[in-house]
Amino acid sequence: MYDILIIGAGVSGCAAARELSRLQASVCVVEAREDVCSGTSKANSGLAHAGFDAREGSLMARLNVEGSRIMESLSEELDFPYRRNGALVLCLSEEDRPGLETLLARGRANGVEGLEILSREQVLAREPHVNPGVTAALWAPSAAIICPFELNLALAENAAENGVVFRFNTRVTGFSPMEGYWQIQTDQGPLEAKCVVNAAGVYAAQLHNLVSQTKLHITPRRGDYYLLDKTAGSYVNSTIFQLPTKYGKGVLVTPTVHGNLLVGPTAIDIDDPEGTNTTREGLEEISRKVESTVTGIPFRETITSFAGLRAHEDGHEFIIQEVEDAPGFFDCAGIESPGLTAAPAIGRMVAGLIRDKLALEEKAHFQPRRKGITDPWALSPQERQALIAREPDYGQIICRCENVTAGQILEAIRRPLGARSLDGIKRRVRPGMGRCQGGFCSPKVMELLARELGIGLEQVNKCGPGSELVTGVTKEADYEGV
């Protein structure tokens, strides 16, 4: 029996796990996929939003602004990349100017600091590639870019270091309310916990509806993106939004924290909670719409396109509360944008609710700091030489595009909650994230995975069981084993 069982190892679930790991309680995170950050949390814009967008007085607004304030110090504590690059919301016609003023007022009411309206000239001086038809823009200096994978991983690793148990490849199928606790059915057998946190992303409504008469409805809202090579990474400096007009919402353009350029997303409501397929229409919509925001984007530098899902709840609000007719069952649902930004605050809020419910005390020896995977390129030349002399794996480049070394890949596999799949390694240390998309390095990364995990290469997978990368050896008939 655990004190707390969290469903979903996305950014909300892991943030809650990390906050709960400060307390004297046993915590388990169950995740349907093979790794943390495998659903909604892995494919989004990677932004720490300033907080001017959400409706005044909403939970979304409060947690957004709080998350945005915490994020920088959290990035130091947990060692994940964060860069405060600021955001601009472009106003493209004088008649939309009142909308810009509304946004400014809302941001101020939400507590966003440093907001100001810039003139056309000021905008173009900062961002020469924005639509020259811009008339003014809202400048939000507290907006930042982060790495969604590393934030999620850092929270998970730190939680694990502080005693949280993670169970992967475990899909929750049902709940039975017991006397003062819950029995949770999974495809790996039943589990028990005093409290359940439902942080299941696009599946959160489905799980909620198993225990409550008050039904939730969540729509998977797909967003397609283009990711461009680092050669295009400085095409804009800040994150560029467009003020919604009568013609629609527009798409954003932002540098990523790793130096690429990200353009997107679309917003297409779908039925399939696994529907992360891009479509021709979606991708064309982006390249068409973005022209009104940023002109002349060098799309020929595209290295990949992808789609992510937002868990859009009908009321467009975060639902973080104990379910009224299911005591001990806590929803952490409807976490769509600005969910990534809000995650640290969501974690605090969930932990606070459960601390009060179970009357939990603080732990004496919580370890708040986590050290990220060694990046030899972030070290001083002297430190790097010493590292490579000590561990030559850090001198052996596996991914040529991103200069990822064997040392980093091995560390990604060997850490607590280590990578078990090609995508898991890619999210942690980025081999295959570059312009060749793994053409040269994936066979080598596959070999390292097989060796480290002690499995055959035919068992190495891309993103969990069923996604194996090779089907067998050549010359099969007469060949017995490796």
Partner 1 sequence: MEQRALICIGCPMGCPITVTLDNGEILRVEGNSCKRGDTYARKEVTHPTRIVTSTVRLSNASAPVVSVKTAGDIPKEMIFPVMEALKAIRLSGPVRVGDIAAENICGTGVDVLVTKNVT
Partner 2 sequence: MKGYDLIIIGGGPAGLSAAVAAWDAGVREILILERDQELGGILNQCIHNGFGLHTFQEELTGPEYAARFIDKVRERNIACLLDTMVLEVSPDRVVTAVNREQGVFQLRAGAVILAMGCRERPRGALNIPGHRPAGIYTAGTAQRLVNMDGWMPGKEVVILGSGDIGLIMARRMTLEGAHVRLVAELMSYSGGLKRNIVQCLEDYGIPLRLSHTVVDIHGKQRLTGVTIAQVDENNRPIPGTEEYHPCDTLLLSCGLLPENELSRAAGVTLSPATSGPVVDEALETNLEGIFACGNVLHVHDLVDYVTQESFEAGRRAAAYLQNRLPSRGRSVPVKAGEGVRYTVPSVVHPDRMDDSLTLRFRVSGVRQGAFLSVWLDGERILHQRKPVLAPAEMEQVRIRRSELEKRPDLSAITVCIEEV
Residues in contact with partner 2 by the rule CB under 8 A: 227, 231, 274, 276-280, 282-283, 302-306, 381, 384-385, 388-389, 392-393, 395-397, 400-401, 403, 422, 435-440, 442-443, 447, 457-458, 461-476
Q: In this complex, which beta carbon is closest to partner 2, that of residue 227 or of residue 333? A: 227
DSSP code string of 19-88: HHTTBSS-EEEE-SSSSSS-SGGGSS--EE--S-SSPTT-HHHHHHHHHHHHHHHHHHHHT--EE---EE
Q: How far, in Å, CA of 401 to CA of 373, rounded?
A: 19
**Exposure b/e, 104-135, CB count within 10 A at least 16 = b:** bebbeebbbeebebbebeebbebbebbbeebb
Q: In this complex, which beta carbon is closest to partner 2, that of residue 75 or of residue 442? A: 442
Q: How far is CA 236 from the centre of its chain?
A: 22
Residues 6+ apart with CB under 8 A from 145: 46, 47, 48, 82, 83, 85, 239, 254, 255, 256, 257
State the binding partner of 478 from partner 1, partner 2, none, CB within 5 to 8 A by kind: partner 1
Q: In this complex, which beta carbon is closest to partner 2, that of residue 162 or of residue 278? A: 278
Q: How far is the CB of 475 from partner 1 (least distance, A)?
A: 5
Q: In this complex, which beta carbon is closest to partner 2, that of residue 213 or of residue 474? A: 474
Residues 460-479 close enough to bind partner 1 by CB under 8 A: 474-479
Q: How far, in Å, CA of 449 to CA of 469, rounded?
A: 12
Q: How far, in Å, CA of 75 to CA of 155, rounded?
A: 10
Write phi, then psi, for 95 (nearest 5 degrees).
Answer: -70, -20
State the binding partner of 385 from partner 1, partner 2, none, CB within 5 to 8 A by kind: partner 2
CA-nearest of 22, 17, 265, 311 to 153 is: 17
Written as six digits, the tokens of 203 are 């599946």
Q: In this complex, which beta carbon is closest to partner 2, that of residue 213 or of residue 382? A: 382
Q: How far is the CB of 345 from partner 2 (least distance, A)?
A: 31
Known active-site residue 49: yes
Q: How far is the CB of 335 from partner 1 (least distance, A)?
A: 47
State the binding partner of 267 from partner 2, partner 1, none, CB within 5 to 8 A by kind: none
State the binding partner of 277 from partner 2, partner 1, none, CB within 5 to 8 A by kind: partner 2
Q: How far is CA 153 from the centre of its chain?
A: 9
State the binding partner of 321 from partner 2, partner 1, none, CB within 5 to 8 A by kind: none
* By CB under 8 A, residue 481 contacts partner 1: no
Could you tell me how many residues of this chain bind partner 1 (CB under 8 A)?
Answer: 7
Q: How far is the CB of 457 from partner 1 (least distance, A)?
A: 10
Q: How far is the CB of 454 from partner 1 (least distance, A)?
A: 18
Q: In this complex, which beta carbon is closest to partner 1, that of residue 94 or of residue 478? A: 478
Active-site residue, selected from the candidate residues 49, 208, 258, 312: 49
First-last CA distance in the chain: 42
3 state SS of 288: helix
Q: How far is the CB of 393 from partner 1 (least distance, A)?
A: 19
Interface with partner 1 by CB under 8 A: which residues? 474-479, 482
Known catalytic residues are: 49
